[in-house]
Amino acid sequence: MTSHTPSLSFKLLALFMFALTACSVQANHPVAVSDGYARATFPMAKSAALYFTLSNESDKPVTLIGVTVSSDVANDAQIHTTEMKDDMMRMREVKEGVTVSPSESVSFAPGGYHVMLLGLEKGLSEGNAVALTLTFDDAPDLSISLPVKGLDKEAGHRHHH
């Protein structure tokens, strides 16, 4: 009796080829992501902040216009910035996107640009990771995974939750 299910070695080879293809696509992407992380939250948190640095390695400007996250993580992901208004720090959604000039970098960091996850399904735990997709105007989407880091006790008053 012959089986029509692929062998384990064939499945492993297919998985390896997929991983290799995914790596080469991202290696050729005009935008590199570094220093990325998500802040851990308490278990019942409904929002979380994500930080990273975008580096444009191309010869033309690239604009980050959107971020998506799996619905089993959060209901929505938005690009935000923090600004001072009437002596108060306020967050606002950046609907026009964030442009990175050629050979330049833009940091998404506390007190500035960041990605907000809204409607978390459960809190983010240290040691886990958050997968998201960055959407650009004139470049392919870029899928990344950010590690979840513990809350910094010194900066605890600055985090977004």
pLDDT score of 84: 80
Query: Which pair of tokens denotes residue 123?
Result: 């809190």
Residues paired with residue 78 on neighbouring β-strands, in sequence order? 116
Residue 78 domain-assigned (yes or no): yes
Query: Which pair of tokens denotes residue 137?
Result: 């105007």
Residue 17 domain-assigned (yes or no): no
pLDDT score of 144: 96
Separate counts of helices (H) and strands (E) for the chain: 1, 10
Residue 18 domain-assigned (yes or no): no
Which structural domain range is residue 54 located in? 31-151
pLDDT score of 119: 97
Q: How many domains does the chain have?
A: 1
* CA distances (Å), origin 26, targets 29, 77, 122: 5, 21, 29
Going residue by residue through the chain, which has 161 residues, state the pLDDT in tens, using 9 for 90 and above: 555 555 655 555 554 454 444 443 456 899 999 999 999 999 999 999 999 999 999 999 999 999 999 999 999 999 999 988 888 888 899 999 999 999 999 999 999 999 999 999 999 999 999 999 999 998 999 999 999 998 664 444 444 44
Contact 159, 82 (CB under 8 A): no
Residue 108 domain-assigned (yes or no): yes
Which three-class secondary structure state does DSSP give residue 82?
Answer: strand
Q: What is the CATH number of the domain that holds 40?
A: 2.60.40.1890
Please tell me the pTM assigned to this model. 0.76
